[in-house]
Homo-oligomer: A and B are copies of this chain.
Amino acid sequence: MAVSFRQLRESAPGVFGDGCPTRTVLDHVMSKWGVLVLMALTDGTARWGELKRTVDGVSEKMLASTLRTLVDDGLVARVSYPEVPPRVEYSLTARGEELMARMMPLMAWIGDNADDILAR
């Protein structure tokens, strides 16, 4: 394997310790709705209503709080147009694209193997 947990920890002591920044970011991007929203945005810019439809099962409350967290983290950009009716567009930032470039291979593998994994 290219990199181990030990190597990660030794490259930056304290990383992945209880309550450290890495754990916080981990909770944001690996959260149930966080991953799904980020994945939906790999399709490109999307409006609120699109996201609500694409991210199957998400409540308005969770979509709102998930998006706010990801915007605060600088992973998602929010652009609101002063029109009537309102239009708001979400997209990945450059940083978000970097993250998803690393996450999508993992998601593809999970998609390919999920059935096998649960067939036990």
Asked if A61 is at the interface (CB within 8 A of a chain B CB), the reply is no
Contact A21 B114 (CB under 8 A): yes
Judge whether A88 is part of the interface by a CB distance below 8 angstroms: no
A109 nearest CB neighbor, chain B only: B102
- Asked if residues A22 and B114 are in contact (CB atoms below 8 Å), the reply is yes
Q: Tell which of B19, B24, B56, B107 touches A118, judged by Cβ atoms closer than 8 Å.
A: B24
Contacts of A95 in B (CB 8 A): 113, 117
- A73 and B108 contacting across the interface, CB-CB below 8 Å: no
Give the secondary structure class of A's interface.
helix
Complex Cα–Cα for A84 and B40 (A): 52
Q: Which residue of B lies closest to A98 (CB)?
A: B109
Q: A30-B30, A39-B16, A117-B74 are in contact. Are A22 and B110 (CB under 8 A)?
A: yes
Q: Which residue of B lies closest to A15 (CB)?
A: B111
Is A106 at the interface (CB under 8 A from chain B)? yes
Interchain CA distance A109-B26 in the complex, whole Å: 11
